[in-house]
Chains A and B, each alone.
Chain A
């Protein structure tokens, strides 16, 4: 089916040269991530000469304190920021596609609130029971996220149907409900409030190689699955009915993207906490740069997301060093004005 669509109705989508575009944009994207990543490596509480960093990287020096700072602290954090940015921006783009809504972000379908509630419950239990649960917080968050995903799924499914409005409304409702529970938890807690708020604002400071190894595979497979769905997402952009006429099973597609995206977000968010705005703004920037074709837009969105989060994390850990700012604050401070600017521009070239 996909094959037919691509072969015969290529011009229906109006993106004849997408391969070249994708190729150049991706090469450019990877190079810029490498450069931004290296720039990020140069900044930190401790200033290290770029030549020294290069030699540490080249000789794989891991013994002295500078080696530990580069290989055990800065690089894992950089990679974690990259993976997180990729996931948030990529899933954000896909969700905007299936929901046909420019205001959709990866958190709109309730995953984040579930994860946050899970993590905050873990933190509260840590303090009230005195058990040592800190290492299990990602597990708590993951369980919370899966509870909210299944809740949204059950609420929005109508017999065999899976309508868009219901999915969106179920997501928003679950979000509100879980957020209310978090507020309640914050209100009745006192000492643990600090840890909870930090979790809610996102924190990459505990990234290590082990966490990366857990996050990498799900994110990689999920991203591929999303990119392979681009053609169907393109059809969806024409409108639900039009997509149906083109032979796309829109409800199945929606369910598929919802599940893949939510699981990816759940895994990432469990380790990093809630980092806002990346998933909302970056897909719009990608769309402005390369147009709305999902085959190009999704990878580009992921790449820009990765670069953006590396940048934000570098700012977060250096701007008032040795104190660190929660990264969520930085992404929102940079992201919000950018988003407003884009909304203004959108009025001129009337596309979403």
Chain B
């Protein structure tokens, strides 16, 4: 009698464990967050019926976000310009960012397309007409980029992972701003971003670069201008920047030393403190142009440059 009771107890125990195991498995495979309705950065309401399994990222910033969220296994297509992280290059390219190659996109049969608004906006109605789910993630500022990461995380059903990643980033940003607050007596360095190409473009108001310079405790000498503005070399002569930043795509030492030499020899710039004190830094432009997770790296890099730690 006692023995029978024991066995039935034993079977019941095994059964319960199996059942709970099965519930965990089924619960895991059927993400209960779906269907989910989101509003993307173009103000469009998009309904995602189930967890996306085939994602196309049509912009380098979105590709970086996908990788930082650990969703790279679901990425089936990326734009030609997605060069970071290195693994992104092994994913099939869908060509240039604009105009989007619709045929290639259709053939990859995606269930979520992450677009960068801007010049892709004209292709998006066509993609939606063909029945694709297109999420526009277009960030113009650092906080918007963090929201963008959260938006992509929500669309892919990994809200918590998104929360964790964004709060980590926010911490890094906050750390820098508290450090700047603590040392407020220090004079802000005057910063000039640009290079000695025939026409000098420099980032003014409403650019990510300007935002990062300001957040890292610098003063952008073209902060009064709007957007990426064409700069007259005389402006640099007059503003006398303390630090010159050269955003560069090709991080080749010879190329960079040549650009630096050009800047040092630029007529009318010899009296500038940045040149006298050799405060010229070449930085990877992708850290400042792309509204992706590496913006925070860019912020930290600028902070190090401004505080003389680099």
A residues adjacent to B (C-beta < 8 A): 44-46, 65-66, 68-69, 72-74, 126, 132, 134-135, 137, 190-192, 194-195, 198, 203, 205-206, 208, 317, 321-324
Report the Cα distance A53→B94, complex, angstroms. Answer: 23
Asked if residues B107 and A198 are in contact (CB atoms below 8 Å), the reply is no
Q: Does B103 contact A (CB under 8 A)?
A: yes
Asked if residues B130 and A72 are in contact (CB atoms below 8 Å), the reply is yes
Report the Cα distance A185→B119, complex, angstroms. Answer: 17
Residues in B79-103 with C-beta less than 8 Å from chain A? 80, 93-96, 98-103
Known A-B contacts A323-B101, A324-B99; A65 and B121 likewise in contact (beta carbons under 8 Å): no
Other CB < 8 Å A-B pairs besides A126-B121, A323-B80, 12 of them?
Answer: A45-B95, A46-B104, A65-B106, A68-B130, A132-B121, A134-B122, A134-B124, A134-B125, A195-B122, A206-B99, A323-B96, A324-B95
CB distance from A11 to the nearest CB of B (A): 53
Provide 23 A-B residue pairs closer than 8 Å at the C-beta atoms, listed in order of the A residue.
Answer: A45-B95, A45-B101, A45-B104, A45-B107, A65-B106, A65-B109, A66-B107, A68-B106, A73-B103, A73-B106, A132-B43, A134-B122, A191-B118, A192-B119, A194-B98, A194-B119, A198-B98, A198-B99, A203-B99, A208-B126, A208-B129, A322-B104, A324-B96
Q: Does B123 contact A (CB under 8 A)?
A: yes
Q: Interface 1/0s, chain B 100-140, versus A by CB < 8 A?
A: 11111011010000000011011111100110000000000
Q: Which residue of B lies closest to A205 (CB)?
A: B99
Q: Does B273 contact A (CB under 8 A)?
A: no
Q: Does B228 contact A (CB under 8 A)?
A: yes
- The 8 A-B residue pairs with the shortest CB-CB distance, nearest first, are A322-B95, A323-B95, A322-B101, A46-B107, A45-B103, A205-B99, A322-B104, A134-B122
Asked if residues A44 and B121 are in contact (CB atoms below 8 Å), the reply is no
Q: Which residue of A lies closest to B44 (CB)?
A: A132
Report the Cα distance A66→B108, complex, angstroms. Answer: 11
Q: Does B42 contact A (CB under 8 A)?
A: yes
Asked if residues B228 and A190 are in contact (CB atoms below 8 Å), the reply is yes
Residues in B18-48 with C-beta less than 8 Å from chain A? 42-43
Report the Cα distance A122→B227, complex, angstroms. Answer: 19
Report the Cα distance A72→B127, complex, angstroms. Answer: 11
B residues adjacent to A (C-beta < 8 A): 42-43, 80, 93-96, 98-104, 106-107, 109, 118-119, 121-126, 129-130, 227-228
Asked if residues B93 and A195 are in contact (CB atoms below 8 Å), the reply is no
Asked if residues A206 and B103 are in contact (CB atoms below 8 Å), the reply is no
Asked if residues B42 and A206 are in contact (CB atoms below 8 Å), the reply is no
CB distance from A273 to the nearest CB of B (A): 11
Report A-chain residues with C-beta under 8 Å of the C-beta of B104: 45-46, 321-322
Known A-B contacts A69-B103, A74-B103, A208-B129; A134 and B121 likewise in contact (beta carbons under 8 Å): yes
Q: Which residue of A lies closest to B42 (CB)?
A: A132
CB distance from B205 to the nearest CB of A (A): 13
Report A-chain residues with C-beta under 8 Å of the C-beta of B126: 206, 208
Asked if residues B107 and A135 are in contact (CB atoms below 8 Å), the reply is no
Report A-chain residues with C-beta under 8 Å of the C-beta of B118: 191
Report the Cα distance A172→B228, complex, angstroms. Answer: 34
Report B-chain residues with C-beta under 8 Å of the C-beta of A126: 121
Report the Cα distance A74→B123, complex, angstroms. Answer: 15
Report the Cα distance A40→B96, complex, angstroms. Answer: 22
Report the Cα distance A194→B122, complex, angstroms. Answer: 12
Asked if residues B122 and A137 are in contact (CB atoms below 8 Å), the reply is yes
Q: Which of B80, B93, B103, B121 has the most CB of A within 10 A?
A: B103
Q: Which of A46, A66, A68, A206 contacts B122 (CB 8 A)?
A: A206
Q: Which of B93, B109, B119, B129 contacts A322 (CB 8 A)?
A: B93
Report A-chain residues with C-beta under 8 Å of the C-beta of B107: 45-46, 65-66, 69
Report the Cα distance A30→B299, complex, angstroms. Answer: 63
Report the Cα distance A126→B122, complex, angstroms. Answer: 11
Asked if residues A321 and B101 are in contact (CB atoms below 8 Å), the reply is yes
CB distance from B20 to the nearest CB of A (A): 41
Report the Cα distance A198→B118, complex, angstroms. Answer: 14
Report A-chain residues with C-beta under 8 Å of the C-beta of B96: 323-324
Q: Which residue of B lies closest to A193 (CB)?
A: B119
Q: Which residue of A lies closest to B108 (CB)?
A: A65
Report A-chain residues with C-beta under 8 Å of the C-beta of B106: 46, 65, 68-69, 72-73
Report the Cα distance A132→B126, complex, angstroms. Answer: 15
Report B-chain residues with C-beta under 8 Å of the C-beta of A198: 98-99, 119
Asked if residues A44 and B103 are in contact (CB atoms below 8 Å), the reply is yes
Q: Which of B42, B93, B122 has the most CB of A within 10 A?
A: B122
Report the Cα distance A321→B106, complex, angstroms. Answer: 14
Report the Cα distance A267→B83, complex, angstroms. Answer: 41
Report B-chain residues with C-beta under 8 Å of the C-beta of A321: 95, 101, 104
CB distance from B145 to the nearest CB of A (A): 17
Q: Which of A74, A321, A324 has the most CB of B within 10 A?
A: A324
